[in-house]
């Protein structure tokens, strides 16, 4: 199904002055409300309320905080982060569109979508303020459901240590001197309960004097087994714009990720089931079942959500070339990576 061109239907507001981004009002449940542009965010015991001109969208608070956490940690990621089938953000790498109904066929067919554009820095600042205030002491939005307390109820403290984690990126390879550190017991990263059987041995290295930083290897699976977060890829190896992003997954990907380029998946362990849909209309495209050793591309014109019944290890392979979104959007590049 084709939709009307965006330029004809989009309601676009003007980015507001930076000094009016956050409104510190505390409601009777103890939570602050926040505003940026024409969007206002409120929470109660069970829901996030997203108010925008003429209407309101509601998301269960646990799902909202999990999605918001990824959007912040990933720096709005590659392309679209759909919190659900109505609300989300689109990264334009410097600016971000925040929308209601933009990728929803029903909203679009009656021109009920609403979009505003913000500087990435401003929106990130507001999102960070929201997650810091709305996350209670016992809830970790990065944690698997079996490993964290509940997100609901009246305001009860905070969990700044959990929500201020950032996406970790190696410059060359994880573990190299001066680069991203390996996770260790001493640094507060115990082996996760679901990876208790993953060997923790180290590679056998025999560098000649002077080549210690070049004859180098790490136990990547051990590093992953100590991850304290789910659905939060970290860059572990870099070859120019080719980024190996390793991650551990459990339960459900908290967002529906819409690609603006091709990304690849390599299943290291266990199993993930992906529901794949058309990026704009949400029409079901396929299921991709990934078992250990499986490799699959996620084309540039889809959105996807993953389900990991047991904590699993996944390699996401990204191309960080900043020209790709435009080259895909303009049709210069096909949405899929290989013709055969």
Contact between 293 and other proteins (CB under 8 A)?
yes
> How far apart, in Å, are the Cα atoms of 224 and each of 42, 47, 193?
36, 33, 12
**232-271: which residues touch other proteins (CB under 8 A)?**
236-242, 244, 262, 264, 266-271
Contact between 305 and other proteins (CB under 8 A)?
no
Burial class from Cβ neighbours inside 10 Å (0-12, 13-18, 19+) for residue 323 reads exposed
Contact between 3 and other proteins (CB under 8 A)?
no
d(CA 258, CA 200): 35
With CB under 8 A as the contact rule, the residue among 198, 228, 305, 307 that binds other proteins is: 198
Measured from the CB atom, is 115 or 235 closer to other proteins? 235
Shortest distance (Å) from residue 328 CB to other proteins: 11
Measured from the CB atom, is 53 or 309 closer to other proteins? 309
Shortest distance (Å) from residue 233 CB to other proteins: 15
With CB under 8 A as the contact rule, the residue among 132, 294, 305, 307 that binds other proteins is: 294
Contact between 77 and other proteins (CB under 8 A)?
no
d(CA 58, CA 61): 9
Candidate ranges 13-21, 55-63, 111-119, 287-295; the one touching other proteins (CB under 8 A): 287-295
Shortest distance (Å) from residue 104 CB to other proteins: 18
Q: What is the DSSP letter of 150?
A: -
Task: Tokens for 205, please give them.
Answer: 């290295």
**5-44: which residues touch other proteins (CB under 8 A)?**
none
Contact between 329 and other proteins (CB under 8 A)?
no
Collapsing DSSP to helix, strand or coil, 108 comes out as helix
Helices 61-73 & 120-134 angle (0-180, nearest 10): 140
Contact between 177 and other proteins (CB under 8 A)?
no
d(CA 13, CA 116): 5
Measured from the CB atom, is 293 or 331 closer to other proteins? 293
Shortest distance (Å) from residue 256 CB to other proteins: 16
> How far apart, in Å, are the Cα atoms of 199 and each of 171, 191, 223, 225, 237?
26, 10, 10, 9, 21
Task: Tokens for 155, please give them.
Answer: 């305001």
């Amino acid at each position: 199904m084709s939709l009307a061109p965006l330029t004809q239907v989009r309601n676009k507001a003007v980015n507001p002055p930076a000094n009016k981004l956050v409104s510190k009002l505390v409601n009777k449940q103890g939570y602050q409300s926040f505003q940026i542009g024409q969007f206002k965010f409120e929470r109660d015991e069970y829901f996030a309320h997203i108010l925008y001109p003429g209407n309101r969208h509601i998301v269960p608070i646990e799902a909202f905080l999990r999605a918001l956490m990824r959007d912040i940690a990933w720096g709005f990621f590659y392309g679209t982060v759909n919190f659900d089938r109505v609300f989300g953000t689109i990264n334009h790498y410097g600016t971000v569109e925040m929308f209601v109904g933009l990728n929803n066929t029903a909203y679009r067919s009656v021109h009920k979508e609403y979009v505003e554009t913000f500087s990435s820095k401003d929106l990130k600042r507001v999102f960070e303020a929201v997650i810091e205030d709305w996350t209670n002491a016992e809830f970790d939005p990065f944690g698997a459901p079996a490993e964290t307390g509940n997100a609901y109820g009246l305001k009860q403290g905070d969990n700044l240590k959990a929500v201020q984690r950032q996406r970790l990126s190696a410059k060359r390879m994880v573990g190299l001197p001066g680069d991203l550190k390996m996770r260790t017991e001493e640094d507060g990263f115990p082996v996760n309960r679901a990876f208790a059987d993953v060997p923790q041995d180290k590679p056998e290295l025999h560098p000649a004097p002077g080549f210690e930083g070049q004859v180098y290897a790490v136990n990547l699976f051990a590093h992953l087994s100590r991850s304290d977060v789910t659905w939060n890829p970290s860059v572990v190896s870099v070859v120019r714009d080719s980024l190996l992003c390793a991650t551990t997954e459990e339960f459900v990907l908290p967002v529906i990720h819409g690609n603006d380029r091709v990304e690849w998946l390599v299943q290291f362990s266990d199993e993930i089931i992906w529901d794949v849909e058309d990026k704009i209309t949400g029409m079901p495209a396929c299921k991709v079942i990934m078992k250990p050793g499986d490799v699959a591309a996620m084309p540039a014109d889809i959105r996807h959500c993953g389900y990991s019944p047991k904590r699993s290890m996944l390699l996401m392979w990204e191309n960080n070339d900043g020209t790709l979104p435009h080259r895909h959007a303009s049709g210069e590049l096909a949405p899929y990576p290989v013709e055969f």
